[in-house]
Structure 1
Amino acid sequence: MAAFVAFVSTIMGFAVARPSLEYFDNPFAVENESKEVRSAAIKRLLEVFGMEDPPLPRGHKQPPQYMLDLYNTVADVDGVTKDPYLLEGNTVRSFFDKLHSEQVEFLFNLSTVARSEKVLTAELHLFKLRPQASSHFNRYHFCQVSVYQVLDTTKRNMTQGKKLLSSRLIPVHSTGWEVFTITQAVRSWMTDEGSNLGLMVTVKTLGGNQMDTKVVRFALGRNHHQSKQPMLVLFTDDGRRSASVEHTDLNDSPAPPSLPHLPMPAAARRSARASDYGGEDEGEKTYCQRQPLYVDFEEIGWSGWIVSPRGYNAYHCKGSCPFPLGQNMRPTNHATVQSIINALKLTKGIETPCCVPDKLFSINLLYFDDEENVVLKQYDDMVAGSCGCH
């Protein structure tokens, strides 16, 4: 976390850094050096977020409402995780159908999912439309909807050409989203990409006959609004989840009340950054405490592909840890002993304890990837929840 705070400070500090005497001697060399530092810092920041390059900004579609709702469920307005156990795994992706068939058939491109990711759950989301009036309108109350994995495109209507994944009864006159679990199919596709021949859905009466397509309809192809398009939602774990989160007490996991509930105003962000680089007055000492460190994705140049949050307060720890260490400084026993040794000068070269984060929280990022899929990722140890002398 200390390293993360350091290079974020480097990036955010360009707006307030003061030119040195060397600048006036050779301004071009200093400018090139600043660009190199910024480029290296942003590259390192991308690595923190598990990326080699930032996704290319495009004329984005509206994010699926499901993904927006999921983000708001697991994160506060600043992206800080409400409870690390609310989300299954640490990555959720949404994929739109690539087939755009007028039949109830779908194909999803999963090439952006790394083979190393563990597939936890995969869901097919279909929007059921209102039935159209027909001679069979009031004849049926329920229908049997089944989702199949296509094994052979030439035999999709035969038993050996498809594999049943999920099946259940649905009220004929209902409308809204229906969700089917298709984890088994997605796991096989991740093992063998060439086996991804898509999905097909059948709708039958309780007697096993084909249901009138006017009575039971799902939003398909390009004929319906984007907000109702068929979607695959994939929950995975990429192995980044830290041990500290895995062993956190459930009652201790939510962010403390002291974390902000509104984004920091621009003026306050500039003031916080200026104070970080301006130094302290001579003789003035600040005891170890948490101070603001706002990461503005727009300033970094990432606003074109990040949906939420627009930025977040990472905080950083600053101040002295003088002897004697009070409990308000949240010292470890080791830090207490070190401060005593330093105060008594029992051993040369022993410094006072350092002011560092002693509690860290994760944040959530909702963004578009290169294929314009919407991704929700949870990143551990991104916010200093509190500071102490260690």
Structure 2
Amino acid sequence: MPPSQPVSPICLLFTLALGQTLQFQKHDFLQFLGLDKVPSPHAFQPVPYIMKKIFQGQEAASSTGTPRDLCYVEELGVRGDKLRLLQDQGAFLFSKHLWQDGSCLQKHLYFNLSAIRGKEQLTLARLDLDLGPNSYYSLEPGLELALFLIQEPQMWRQPVPKPGKLFALQSVPRPQGTLHFNLLDVAKVWTQSPQENVGLFLEILVRGDSHAGAGFQREATCARLRQSLRASLLVVTLDPEHCPSASRKRRRAARHAPTAPHKTLCQRHQLFVSFRDLGWHRWIIAPKGFMANYCHGDCPFSLSTSVNSSNHAFMQALMHAADPQVPQAVCVPTKLSPISMLYQDNNDNIILQHYEDMVVDECGCG
């Protein structure tokens, strides 16, 4: 019995688009995307500007045929082929000491990194703290922001986890805008030793203010911060298996094949894959679909450049004429290009990933 051959993603999509939606085929394609099952997010999360910019840049490069290194995130200056925006799963903390010493709020920050697989290499982990939109109140007090690594998990009946090492201390002149913190070294430890990932402790304090009405402004500022504060972790990983090899780069740079002069000869045909038709529009943010295309047609004995045949295909055709047991050359993709996808997983995290060999650009006999 001959060994089974790996199924390419384009073949899987073609099968799905034709209506042959067997469960194992969907499962195989989801595994190719790095998912164990079809995500069912609770609600669509807003896509941050940086991920929109990267996605739109890749879309523009694909539409113009501009070469782009899919293993390098130019906008962030790091190597990587997958971006994740992990949502904070922690909670606000309340204790009788909360308002002492000018404390405004305390929060447990926690990010689930279990989706990052062992072969993925972390290249960026950036904590983003969004304090909310610009305020019209110019007299709002300044803040002091302290970020601690939690020393041990929060115990039962323990209102506040035990803070450990001070990670960052930053003055904030106004309670607005987004702050960024480099968590790469910490995230690497968390992925290698998941039991050490017990989160971060965030405390925001109001700096001393002597002008009239300071007490009221502090209370109003803290109330607004509790409503508007959003924390997320932007993670970039590099999967060596997904990075294009030199051979793939050469294949994508192959010469342009002239259009086949006859409809029956090997050539590219249009095939649009609609994620709505597959029922995946509930978790795929963008694109709504893409032109995957497919190859179909005859590879006659009199092979020529009209069907973009290789020397091997020509020799195979000669051997088939001499010995019918030798199979004929078949119409296959000779040049493919990638697509980018924005989607959400079951934890409502936003993922941006580039996928190789998803669009058939040229066909030939091989």
Q: Which secondary structure does the structure 2 equivalent of 1:223 belong to?
A: helix
Q: CA deviation at 1:107?
A: 2.4
* Partner AA of 2:89 in structure 1: K
Q: Which secondary structure does the structure 1 equivalent of 2:315 belong to?
A: helix
From 13, 18, 21, the equivalent of 2:18 is 13
Indicate how the Cα distance of structure 1 residues 62 and 73 shifts in structure 2: closer, same or farther if over 3 A, else same. same
Contact in 2 for aligned 1:317/1:355 (Cα 8 Å): yes
Give the distance between the partners of 2:319 and 2:140, measured in 1 at CA: 90
Aligned pairs (5 A) from 1:156-235: 156=163, 161-162=164-165, 164=167, 172=173, 176-200=177-201, 211=207, 222-224=226-228, 229-235=230-236
Q: Unaligned regions of 5+ residues in structure 1, if any?
A: 15-33, 138-142, 205-209, 259-283
Q: CA deviation at 1:379?
A: 2.1
* Partner AA of 2:13 in structure 1: V
Q: CA deviation at 1:109?
A: 2.7
Q: Does 1:98 align with 2:82?
A: no
Contact in 2 for aligned 1:366/1:376 (Cα 8 Å): yes
Indicate how the Cα distance of structure 1 residues 183 and 127 shifts in structure 2: closer, same or farther if over 3 A, else same. same
Aligned residues: 319
Give the distance between the partners of 1:219 and 1:245, measured in 2 at CA: 56
Give the distance between the partners of 2:224 and 2:240, measured in 1 at CA: 35
Give the distance between the partners of 1:57 and 1:361, measured in 2 at CA: 29
Contact in 2 for aligned 1:241/1:380 (Cα 8 Å): yes
Larger fraction in helix: 1
Give the distance between the partners of 1:364 and 1:246, measured in 2 at CA: 21
Give the distance between the partners of 1:246 and 1:120, measured in 2 at CA: 25
Coordinate RMSD, CA, aligned? 4.2
From 28, 38, 57, the equivalent of 1:73 is 57
Give the distance between the partners of 1:154 and 1:58, measured in 2 at CA: 28
Q: Unaligned regions of 5+ residues in structure 2, if any?
A: 1-5, 74-78, 93-104, 153-159, 210-216
Q: CA deviation at 1:333?
A: 1.8
Name the residue aligned to 2:305: 327
Q: Which secondary structure does the structure 2 equivalent of 1:300 belong to?
A: coil
Give the distance between the partners of 2:161 and 2:17, measured in 1 at CA: 57
Q: CA deviation at 1:370?
A: 0.8
Q: CA deviation at 1:349?
A: 2.7
* Partner AA of 2:16 in structure 1: I
Indicate how the Cα distance of structure 1 residues 134 and 81 shifts in structure 2: closer, same or farther if over 3 A, else same. same
Indicate how the Cα distance of structure 1 residues 374 and 4 shifts in structure 2: closer, same or farther if over 3 A, else same. closer
Give the distance between the partners of 1:81 and 1:41, measured in 2 at CA: 32
Identity of aligned pairs, percent? 24
Q: Does 1:123 align with 2:101?
A: no
Name the residue aligned to 1:26: none
Give the distance between the partners of 2:91 and 2:347, measured in 1 at CA: 16
Indicate how the Cα distance of structure 1 residues 163 and 248 shifts in structure 2: closer, same or farther if over 3 A, else same. farther
Indicate how the Cα distance of structure 1 residues 303 and 77 shifts in structure 2: closer, same or farther if over 3 A, else same. farther
Q: CA deviation at 1:196?
A: 2.0
Q: Which secondary structure does the structure 2 equivalent of 1:103 belong to?
A: strand
Contact in 2 for aligned 1:100/1:221 (Cα 8 Å): no
Structure-2-length-normalised TM-score: 0.70
